[in-house]
Amino acid sequence: MCGIVGYIGKPESPSDKARDVVLEGLARLEYRGYDSAGIAVAGSQPLAWLKREGRLDNLKAAIEAEPLPPASAAIGHTRWATHGAPSDTNSHPHISHDERVAVVHNGIIENHAALAAELAERGIERVSETDTEIAAHLLAIELEKGADLLDAMRTIAGKLEGSFALVALDSQHPERLVAARRNSPLVVGLGEGENYLGSDVAAFVGETKRALELGQDTIVEVTADSVNVIDFDGNPTQAKEFSVDWDLSAVAKGGYETFMDKEIHEQPMAVRETLRARTTEQGNLQLDELRIPESILRSIDKIIVVACGTAAYAGHVAKYAIEHWCRIPVEIELAHEFRYRDPVVNEKTLVVAISQSGETMDTLMAIRHAREQGSKVLAIVNTQGSTIARESDAVLYTHAGPEIAVASTKAFISQIAAAYLLGLYLAELRGNKYVDEIAGYLDELGKMPGRIEQVLEQEEQIRELARSMADIDSVIFLGRHVGYPVALEGALKLKELAYVHAEGFAAGELKHGPIALIEEDLPVFVIVPTPRRPLLHAKVISNLQEVRSRGAKLIVIAEEGDEDVLKYADPSQVFWAPRTTPTLMMPLVTVIPLQIFACEVAKAKGYDVDKPRNLAKSVTVE
C-alpha cells in the first residue's frame, strides 16, 4: 500500500532538512510495499521534484545526481500501482499543468474519468495514467480563481468520489501543506517550529512522538507553528491527539508489537483496496488482467479452485458464493494433489488459482497441468508480476499490500473478497444476476471494511480470553455453511502460531464421530449462522446444547442480538458479528476473533507469532 510523508518548516529558513525528513520517512514506510517513489520540495525557489520507478535507492541516486534546492516544505510518496503501470511518469508526486501544485495521494478517485473529460474541455490533458493527477489540475484551477490552498482543497474534495488521502503543496505559498482525508489513513505529527504529515506515524516517528488522529471527511492545513482542521463543509473540527509509545526499532511494524498484529488491523484496508476501482465507466465489473474471451467464460460448465493451506479455505468460501450466484459447480482441490489424480478438466473448465505470493510451487504446477489439458486459468494473487500471475490467462489482484507474518490474515480475507468479485463478475457476464442485484451485492461488499472494524473493537475481550487459556493443548472448531471453512481456518491459525492441536469440523459432522472428543473443559469454538437463516441457525444451536451438556468450554461467534447463544455460552466468551451482514459475506467478520485469539495464545506461550517454527511464508518447492 502507498506511503505518504509531508514536512513543513519555517519559510524563512529553507534547508535540506525538508528533503531529508521526507526521504527518511519514506524509508520507514517501505514495509507497506511499493513500486516507485518520489518527492517534491518548495521554498524560496520554484517547485522542484524527482520521482523514480523501483526502490527508494533509485530516487536517492537521482537526487544525488540532480540535487534538490533547499526548501521549507516537502512531500513524498511510495506508490503501489493501481491506475497505470509502475513508471517514472505514473509515480507521485503529480504536478499541475502550471507547475504550481504538487500532490501525493493514497486511495482511488472513482470518478477520475469524468473529471478528466472536464479537464480536457479546458485543454488540460493528463500526462500520466493515474487518477491522482486529476487532483493536482483541479487544485491549480481553483488557485487560479483566487482561492487559497485550503479552500481549493475543500472545493475539490466535494467533487471527488471514492477514497483518498491527499496532500498538496502550493509552490507560491510554501509556508503550508493542506491535506484531505476520506477512508484512507492520514495522521499529523506535531513538532517544535515544524510539523509533519504521514499515512501512518512511522513516517515521522524519528522526529516526534506527538500526533493527531484525523477524522473521516476532514481537511487539515499545517504550517510550521499551527494545525487547522475542518470538515468538508468548512466547519472547524477537533483532531484527537495521541502519543506514540514505541521507538524506531518498531517502525517496520507500523508501531504494532508484531507484523501479525499490524496485518490483523490492516484487514479493513486490505478489503477496501481489493474492492476499489472494479467497475468500468459503464458500471460493469472488471478484472485486473483478462486474456480469456468472454465467450469462453460464458461457456464454462465447471470451476476448480486450486490452492494450499489458508488459500484453500478462501476457496471453500468462494465455492458457496460462486455456486449461489452463478449456478456453476465448483470443486476445491488442494494444489499438491490436483495433477497427480488425473483430474477431469477441459476447455469448458475454469481453474481458479489462489496464492498470496503468486509463487507457490504446488499451485504453479497445478495450473500448468490444467493449461496442458486445455483449461483456462484465472489467478487470485497479491503480488504483481509473480509467476502464477504471468502464467495465468486472467488475474485478479487482491491489493492487500505486503504480508510479512508467515501465518496469513489479511491475505485470507482479501482473497475471499476477490473471490466474491469473481463470482459477481461471472454472474453479470453470464446473465445469472440483474444489474441492480449486482449493484446491491457490491454495496454490501463496500460496507464490509466498516463491519470488520466493528469486530476489531472487541479485540481486548478476545485477547483477555486468550491469555486466560494459554495452557490449552487441544481445541475444536465447529461451523456450518460458510462457517465451516472459517472453522478450518481458525484451527489452522492455532496450529501454526501456538502449536496447539486443533481440529475444524463441519458442525453437522459432530454426531458422526467428533463428539467422542468432547469432554470436560475442552475449548470448543462455534461459528453460529445468522438467525435470519432459521434452519441453519437451529441446527447449530442444537450443537451448542450437545457440547455444553458434556461440560465443554464454549466460545461462540454469533450475530449481534442472537439471544439463543446466551443460553449456553458465557457472555464474556461470545463475540459478535455485525447485524445484517449478508450470510455469504460472514467469513470476512467471523474469522477475525479466531485470528486474534490464536495470535494472543501464541504470545502468552512466549512464541514468535511472525515466524512460527518450521514454516515459510511462500512454499516454492513441491
Domain parsing of the chain, residue ranges: 3-245, 264-454, 458-604
Say if residue 177's pLDDT is above 60. yes
Tens of pLDDT along 195-205?
A: 999 988 889 98
Over pLDDT 70: what percentage of the chain? 97
For residues 75 and 209, give the distance between their C-alpha atoms in angstroms, rounded to a whole number.
20
Residues 604-611 have a mean pLDDT of 94
Q: Do residues 167 and 177 make contact, with C-beta atoms less than 8 angstroms apart?
A: yes
What are the grid coordinates assigned to 105, written together? Answer: 495521494
Say if residue 552's pLDDT is above 70. yes
Tens of pLDDT along 37-49?
A: 999 999 988 899 9
pLDDT at 291: 86
For residues 309 and 273, give the distance between their C-alpha atoms in angstroms, rounded to a whole number.
23
Q: Hey, which CATH number is domain 458-604, 3.90.180.10, 3.40.50.10490, 2.40.160.40, 3.10.129.10? A: 3.40.50.10490
HSE-CB of 566 using CA atoms within 13 angstroms: 9
Could you tell me the pTM of the whole model? Answer: 0.73
pLDDT at 249: 61
The residue with greater pLDDT, 579 or 249, is: 579
Which residues are catalytically annotated? 2, 617
pLDDT at 250: 59
pLDDT at 622: 62
Structural fold of domain 264-454: Rossmann fold (3.40.50)
Structural fold of domain 3-245: Glutamine Phosphoribosylpyrophosphate, subunit 1, domain 1 (3.60.20)
pLDDT at 588: 98
Amino acid symbol at 602: A
Helix (H, G, I), strand (E, B) or coil at 449: helix
Residues 371-400 have a mean pLDDT of 89
Mean pLDDT (the chain, rounded): 92
> 264-454 and 458-604 share one CATH topology?
yes
Say if residue 32's pLDDT is above 70. no
pLDDT at 620: 52
pLDDT at 185: 79
Over pLDDT 90: what percentage of the chain? 78
Tens of pLDDT along 444-489?
A: 999 999 999 999 999 999 999 999 999 999 999 999 999 999 999 9
pLDDT band, residue 281 (cuts 50/70/90): confident
Selection from 35, 5, 26 nearest residue 402 by Cα: 35
Instruction: Find all residues with CB under 8 Å of 203, minimum gap 6, and list them.
Output: 3, 4, 5, 25, 26, 28, 29, 187, 189, 196, 197
